[in-house]
Amino acid sequence: MNVNYTNIWPVLIAKVDDLNINRLVMVEMPTLGCRVKIEVDGPAGLTSHEGVVLPGASADHITLKLINGYNISYPLSMVQAVEDISAPVASVVSTSEVKQSGDLPKITIIHTGGTIASKVDYATGAVVARFEPEEILASIPELMDIAHIDSVKLGNMWSDDIRPQHWNAMATACQEAFDSGSVGVVITHGTDTLHVSAAALSFAFSGLGGKPAGRIVFTGSQRSSDRASSDAYWAAHGPEVSGNSDSTVTVMHASSDDGLCAVNSGVGVRKMHSTRRDAFHPVNASTIGFVKLENEISHSHTIPASNKEVSSPQLFDTSIKIAQFIAGPHLHSDLINAAQSAGYAAIIIHGTGLGHLPIENPMGDAPENDLLRDTIGNCSIPIIIANQCIHGPVDLNVYSKGRLQQELGILGHGSTSTPEALLAKVHWALSNQSNLGEVLAKNLCGENAQSLMS
């Protein structure tokens, strides 16, 4: 047995068989923060694991963080051997020791919420937040080999609380970062509305056919920040931005493991699960690329890049309000009237199937459907259909109901956008006094690929 006896305490373990003590094994609890290899005699037989020692999940248990990011715990009574295979993880790195290289590409980390850079102090179990570049690098020294880091703190918000004024702040901070020499930015953002903000910034920079001066990466807190930083690597070393589908990207887990992160278009991705690590998936689009744990990039983006580099993003009019409703048994005309009366600039209805609404009354027993149809036909503000099904197009030419909706003036036929990208697009178009019908029919920055309508 190879055991580390430095800074440890003994635990006496008795292995019992048929109420008789067969043997006594002296196993020592390793130091918190050490990387160890343990041999365990458990339900699966004799197995071995390697990882960093964390505070035990409960009394008389050993807990390890494995290389894949998951934790395992075993009762000490199952542990047959413990081998210390590395020096303890340093819990504190002095900021005075941080020296950034001027030869590396500069990126800016823009913090909106969550912990911009945190690392577990394995000696105490505490998580320490870092905001300044020196503090970020002290917490995650691996970044010093990836990029020269700058940082901006916009706030510390739950993503549910983010509004269009915060989109504007992010877009402005991105431009300021590019103007200062950054080749890319990483926006840390809560995951629940991360894809909405990513879509909004895509239109801010590329709605008029241009492209941002560098890479804009949105990332959330589903991956531990003391793992390899694939988001920073893509921002610093990713492919040139084309302005079509990649003006903003999300870098999040590709699976439940830490080993691979997927790079998806900011206008073609959606959070599809409330808790899974691989919650983000492309919608009516393909994944742009991947970043492996070892910071290896693979990408398939071959769209010709725009030659027009944006120097001032188109911001959103924060006075504009857009109402959103869900088509179904409880969509009534009073909702449409309320939105008009309250000064909303447009209405988006998430339609069923190909984009349909309850506006017909073939049995003569649903007068509310007739009233909804008449109210929509007389509505003074634009009504746009989004796809409640998420995947697939809005196609109002297939059934007679869809053609009736077009006759009533409803917009959205032919859209393949995610509901969130459509919301950002409508707001952007109204903010810039664009013709909404014309804009919705276009594919401005990868949000409305027409391959599903051909």
* Active site residues per annotation: 115, 191-192, 271
Task: Work out the number of other CB atoms within 10 angstroms of the CB of residue 156.
Answer: 13
Range list of H helices, 17-132: none
Rounded CA separation 354/247 (Å)? 28
Angle between helices 333-341 and 367-377 (to 10 degrees): 30
Burial 35-59 (b: 16+ CB within 10 A, else e): bbbbbbeeeeeeeeeebbbbebeee
| Whole-Å CA distances, 345 to 155, 279, 321 | 28, 32, 6
Backbone region of residue 403 per phi and psi (left: phi > 0; alpha: psi in -120 to 50; beta: other values) = alpha
Rounded CA separation 308/294 (Å)? 33
| Whole-Å CA distances, 312 to 6, 215, 236, 245 | 58, 15, 21, 19
User: SS3 helix, strand, coil % of the chain, rounded to 5?
Assistant: 25, 30, 50
305 contacts 240 by C-beta, under 8 angstroms:
yes
Q: Which of 427, 432, 421 is nearest to 208 (CA)?
A: 432
In the block, which residue shows the tokens 């703190």?
Answer: 153
Q: Which of 204, 205, 116, 192 is nearest to 155 (CA)?
A: 116
Rounded CA separation 229/115 (Å)? 14
